[in-house]
Amino acid sequence: MAVRAAVAGASGYAGGELLRLLLVHPEIEIGALTGNSNAGQRLGALQPHLLPLADRVLQETNPDVLGGHDVVFLALPHGQSAAVAEQLGPDVLVVDMGADFRLKDAADWEKFYGSAHAGTWPYGLPELPGARAALEGSKRIAVPGCYPTAASLALFPAYAAGLAENEAVIVAASGTSGAGKAPKAHLLGSEVMGSMSPYGVGGVHRHTPEMIQNLGAAAGEPVTVSFTPTLAPMPRGILATCSAKAKPDVTAESVRTAYEKAFADEPFVHLLPEGQWPATASVYGSNAVQIQVAYDAAAHRIIAISAIDNLTKGTAGGAVQSMNIALGLDEATGLTTIGVAP
């Protein structure tokens, strides 16, 4: 019997990407689609690439509309999910693509998001140590932020293997869809095209505590993270350049071995052959993650670089992958590692 799934936030970028994936998922039947300011609109007017759903009309986001489904995806601005989720029954699988339930530390939440902490749900990055076990059979999933997905996958093997000192430096470039559909002055075409620019500099970006949480868990001790996001003139993709000082006695060989071991059985993470480097174009529209790692002997640092599609593995693909695990389906059901090129 098909799994009925509702999508709240179906007019947004994350909701649209999720629907693109759910339309080809063999176990899913798409139920209610909701919006906010666009409630009452045809989906075809908002997401013209989702042809099979073009005549569906967006409903309002409320528990009456979202109830009665097996799975409810919340692709809402952060801070909006908790109120909706608490009105959905404990038997419904709720997958929050926003930030509301990602952080364990309430003080971190309050500092970076400026509101009361709603709680903590099993974290939807299955590749992290112990994450799959927490997702199996769960009725609540917190999908990670896009930058923490890219950065945590790039660096956790170094920490889990005890190869890196407890400070990491992460500089990541994101495509503009990471900022959502709502118009923003710094995202006007003429501001973004042909230029790269940093933002959220100096430890203030809200994804910093999420990276600290993930890398600290892998290390088994606190890790400090200096994170600098940058905006790149492309619609999709994240390239994260991550480094950490190596512990004494680390060698290029020990680093390579740790990464090979960490990703040997992963269906979506591809540790590239030595000499080949990740590129956002190679993972466009796919749930794949490309990773390469190097040991800089002169600086005594481990350098790990990852590329993801922020809307696929960074949001909607990660959500579907975690949903599959929670439902007991094969983790890769409905997902592809095949990209679009050029």
Ligand X SMILES: NC(=O)C1=CN([C@@H]2O[C@H](COP(=O)(O)OP(=O)(O)OC[C@H]3O[C@@H](n4cnc5c(N)ncnc54)[C@H](OP(=O)(O)O)[C@@H]3O)[C@@H](O)[C@H]2O)C=CC1
Active site residue 242: no
Q: Which helix (H) or strand (E) holds 128?
A: none
According to the binding rule CB under 6 A, does residue 153 interact with ligand X?
Answer: no
The binder of ligand X chosen from 5, 13, 123, 259 (CB under 6 A): 13
181 near ligand X, rule: CB under 6 A: yes
* β-bridge partners, 174: 231, 238
Q: By CB under 6 A, what part of segment 258-317 binds ligand X?
A: 310-311, 314-315
CA nearest to 18, candidates 228, 331, 311: 311
* Closest to ligand X by CB, 8 or 258: 8
| Least gap, CB of 62 to ligand X (angstroms) | 9
SS3 304: strand
Least distance to ligand X2W, CB of residue 147, Å: 6
Strands, E, within 186-233: which ranges?
A: 197-198, 224-231
Cβ neighbours of 263 (radius 10 Å): 17
CB of 164 vs ligand X2W, minimal distance in Å: 24
Q: In sequence order, what are the residues at sequence separation of 6 or more whose Cβ sits closer than 8 angstroms to the Cβ of residue 41?
A: 11, 35, 57, 58
Q: Computed over its alpha carbons, how large is the radius of gyration of the chain?
A: 19
Specify whether the CB–CB gap between 41 and 57 falls below 8 A.
Answer: yes
Query: 12 contacts which partner out of ligand X, ligand X2W, none, CB within 5 to 8 A by kind?
Result: ligand X
Determine which one of 146, 239, 258, 325 is catalytic. 146
Contact partner, 157, from ligand X, ligand X2W, none, Cβ < 5-8 Å per class: none
Q: Which does 245 bind (CB under 5 to 8 A by kind): ligand X, ligand X2W, none?
A: none
| Tokens matching residue 106 | 């309430």
Identify the residue whose tokens are 């059985």: 265
Among 80, 214, 286, 321, interactor with ligand X by CB under 6 A:
80
Query: Of these partners, ligand X2W, ligand X, none, which one is at the site of residue 229 (CB under 5 to 8 Å by kind)?
Result: ligand X2W
* Whole-Å CA distances, 307 to 34, 132, 279, 281, 300: 31, 22, 6, 9, 23
Instruction: Kindly list the residues in this chain that would bind ligand X in the complex (CB under 6 A).
Output: 9-15, 35-38, 61, 75-78, 80, 97-98, 145-146, 177-178, 180-182, 310-311, 314-315
- What are the catalytic residues? 146
